[in-house]
Structure formats: structure tokens, C-alpha cells
Amino acid sequence: MKKILHVISSPRHGESYSIKLGEAIVAKLLLEYPGSTVSTYNLEEAHIASFFTPLEARTPAGVEAARHSDEAIRAIREADILVVGAPMYNFNIHSSLKAWLDHIVRSGVTFSYGATGAEGLVTGKKVYLAVATGGVYSSGPMKEYDFVVPYLTWMLSFIGMKDISVVRVEGTAIPELKEGALERAVASIEV
């Protein structure tokens, strides 16, 4: 039995490919680990402030930001598996996902600096990135413009989550690739 955290960052609700792909990953995980529990953390509904610094904690807005940050970190710490939905917006992640990262990457809480440099403090987690793009960025001429996967992989690894699998639904804006794109992505999921 596992505790699964599904992080949603798309504002497109039912039309979102990253949400649909994330749900498919969760469904396969539930088949693999019967009796597991799933918590959904919808970043669009959480209305997370765009950033958090300790100095802001003294203001009313800072108190609210600190609450969101603590809640997000608690959810990650309690989870065994994270499924992070990441639609591509302008070659990068959605602003709500960036705000979430700003809240979970905290010195002394999720990482620390020691004699050998930075050390991630959130370990022992499996992460699945459910990446949705209108074009094809996993290979070919547009690969160098994919800032979603390298950025998320680096940031999550920085805080200790190094076991990361990437599942992509690609070509959703290309007429000849759109049909069957989600089905191909779902078929590629390995848990």
C-alpha cells in the first residue's frame, strides 16, 4: 500500500492532457499497489502566492504563504509516490507549478548546505512527471526548447527526489499527431 500525491498544475480542467495523463498514471499505480490512497493537490485551486521568503512571514500575506508552504511540504513528506502534472506553457512550466516549487524548495527544510554542498532532505520518493506538450520535444529539432523536463528533474533532485520517470503526451496541437497522442502516452506508462 502506497500514499500517492497527484499534483495538478493545469488550469484547463477536463480538457487538460497533463491531468488526463496524470490520472492514467495514478490508475496504473493503484493496480500495481492495491489499497493505496490518493491525495490530489490542485495548484490552481490552492491559489498559492507566487513566492515565499522568511522575511515576508511577518506580514499577513507572508503568514498565509508560510501556511501554503508548510502544507505543500507536509503533503510531499507524507507521500510515497508523487505524480506531477506538467503542461508546457511557452516552453516551460505553468506559473502555478513554479509557485509550488518556490514553496517546497526551502533551505533547512527540504534541503541544507553542508561541507560538501547542498543536500536534499526529501528522499525515498518515486516521482512521475506527466508532461503534456502541443509539439514534440522529447526528440528532434525542438528538443533543445524543452525546459520543462530538465528544470523539474533538476529542482526535484535538488531537494532529494532523484527517482524520476517522465511520461509524455506530445503533439496535441499537431493535427497528424493529436489523434491517439494520449493513448500512446498511456500505453508507455511503466510503474
What pLDDT is attached to residue 65? 74
Closest alpha carbon to 185 in 145, 133, 140: 133
CB 181 within 8 A of CB 172: yes
Q: Is 72 helix (H, G, I), strand (E, B) or coil?
A: helix
**Domains of the chain from N-terminus onward:** 3-187 (3.40.50.360)
Q: What's the pLDDT at 64? A: 72
What are the pLDDT tens digits along the chain (191 aa)? 999 999 999 998 889 999 999 999 999 999 999 999 999 999 988 877 666 555 555 677 677 778 888 999 999 999 999 999 999 999 999 999 999 999 999 999 999 999 999 999 999 999 999 999 999 999 999 999 999 999 999 999 999 999 999 999 999 999 999 999 999 999 999 99
Rounded to whole angstroms, the Cα distance separating 26 from 96 reads 21
In whole angstroms, give the CA distance from residue 57 to residue 191.
40
| pLDDT at site 52 | 58
According to DSSP H, which parts of the chain are helical? 17-32, 43-46, 60-78, 95-104, 148-158, 175-178, 181-187
Query: pTM for this structure?
Result: 0.93
pLDDT value, residue 45: 86
Output the pLDDT for position 66: 80
**pLDDT value of position 46:** 80
